[in-house]
Amino acid sequence: MNSLWSCTSEMPSFESLKENIETDVLIIGGGIAGIICAYELDRQNINYVLVEANKICSGITKNTTAKITSQHGLIYDSIARKYNFETARLYLESNELAIKKYQDICQNIDCDFQIEDNYVYCVDKENKIEKELNTLKKIGFEAQKVNSIPLPVTIKSAIKFKNQAKFHPLKFIAQISKNLKIYENTKILELKGTTAITKNGKITAKKIISATHFPFINKHGSYYLKLYQHRSYVIALKDASEINGMYVDESKKGMSFRNANGLLLIGGGDHRTGKNGGNWAELERFAHKYYPFSKIEYKWATQDCMSLDGIPYIGQYSSDTPDFFVASGFNKWGMTSAMVSALILSDLVQGKKNPYSFVYSPSRSIIHPQLGINAFEAVVNLLTPTKKRCPHLGCALKWNPDEHSWDCPCHGSRFTEDGKLIDNPATGNLRQK
């Protein structure tokens, strides 16, 4: 099922690599994070190339809800409690900088960019809102508490962030990518140090950035423990309400809302990949009840890499790989996180310091409750007897009846009914027996 963005845009095409080349920076992955990294390096006259195994934005990017916001749920009180107020402040500052960067770029391109307020609402315990507001006040950010929102949801209260944004992500990428150094249909078969081997040539680089959604190198960084994947669903309704703003429930099981092209986008139905969840049926029931005269124009699903502490992993891939960098674990907030990644990594590959890099360091502590859950899921699914097993690390695959796919509960790889790879970290199709 194709997203609204896929159906209302035309993407540029690029040739595949057919020779050996040398470059200062190799970017692996042609989603929004990799492309904005390439855009930043191109703007700074740094020698780079980007390679994509298929077509650019053929993976997760095309399935976003495309909110550009620094309000990632009620995250700031959580960061302050886990770390400190300064870390929370820098996380906010870096994401506000990302919004400003998008605004500057989008002034000169047609991508439906629009400034809009964002709201995070709470339906049960109002003290969550109060704690978040107190933290925001302590780190110097002005947010507003509101007691009602224009949605058919009964809330306790909500927090409003002014001057956030939304856009059409594929129109944006089509514009900024057309003059970049990109090779499509160029799959990396092997890495030997900072030399990448492809079917028709090798790329000798000084630095490498992995922007492949889920990091694909297992022997460094322990990302198979630090990340899990989470699916969520979207329906786009015609003849539903204009809601004037962007909205999301602070609960992981809640819904999100925004308008786009005269449609109301409702997201939700979330679950860990390979588990059961509400899926589209949950959203369709909601629409039938509260927007009975509306019609579903589009429906799609997406998959997000979730970190242990709610902060992405952006920086050096691991402590023992000084020339290898990563951007992953965007926790459902891929638009701002992609821009933050580009701003940080474009500095780091040049040997420059970046004021936000320690906040996102992939080498920070992994001691968080989610680590135990990830480890438990891996052990259970490794020990589950079944013929269908993920080629990534061997976990048992689960049949997804809603999307007709084989999904891995450990790390989120997905395959079509006949075994073709849909989502990484697996790098190949299922072996047919």
What residues form DSSP beta bridges with 324? 208
Measured distance CA(341)–CA(33) in Å, rounded: 7
**Residue type for position 81:** R
Measured distance CA(335)–CA(1) in Å, rounded: 22
Confidence band (pLDDT; 50, 70, 90) for 218?
Answer: confident
Domain total in the chain: 2
Which pLDDT belongs to residue 433?
Answer: 54
Residue 432 domain-assigned?
A: no
Residue 50 domain-assigned?
A: yes
Which pLDDT belongs to residue 166?
Answer: 98
What's the DSSP call for residue 47?
-
Do both 317 and 221 map to the same domain?
yes
Give kind and range of the element (H or E) at residue 207: strand 201-210
Measured distance CA(9)–CA(33) in Å, rounded: 19
The domain spanning residue 221 has which CATH number? 3.50.50.60
Which pLDDT belongs to residue 241?
Answer: 87
Do both 199 and 181 map to the same domain?
yes
Residue 88 domain-assigned?
A: no
Residue 55 domain-assigned?
A: yes
Measured distance CA(248)–CA(155) in Å, rounded: 12
Which pLDDT belongs to residue 432?
Answer: 63
Do both 346 and 383 map to the same domain?
no
Do both 206 and 175 map to the same domain?
yes
* CA dist list (Å): 136 to 70, 97, 159, 269: 12, 17, 10, 29
Which pLDDT belongs to residue 7?
Answer: 96
Confidence band (pLDDT; 50, 70, 90) for 363?
Answer: very high
Residue 34 domain-assigned?
A: yes
Beta 228-238 vs 295-306: how paired, if at all?
Answer: antiparallel
Do both 211 and 176 map to the same domain?
yes
Do both 198 and 221 map to the same domain?
yes
Measured distance CA(34)–CA(49) in Å, rounded: 10
Residue 57 domain-assigned?
A: yes
Residue 11 domain-assigned?
A: yes
Q: Which segments of 59-137 are extended strands (E)? A: 67-68, 114-122
pLDDT in tens, 263-308: 999 999 999 998 888 899 999 999 999 999 999 999 999 999 999 9
Question: In which region does residue 167 sit, left (phi positive, over 0), alpha (psi from -120 to 50) or beta (all else)?
Answer: beta
Measured distance CA(87)–CA(95) in Å, rounded: 12
Measured distance CA(126)–CA(123) in Å, rounded: 8
The tokens describing 195, both together, are 């030399």
Instruction: Look up the domain containing 22 and give its range.
Output: 4-64+170-225+309-360
pLDDT in tens, 109-120: 999 999 999 999
The domain spanning residue 405 has which CATH number? 2.102.10.10
**Percent of the chain topping pLDDT 90:** 83
Do both 314 and 409 map to the same domain?
no
pTM for the complete prediction?
0.95
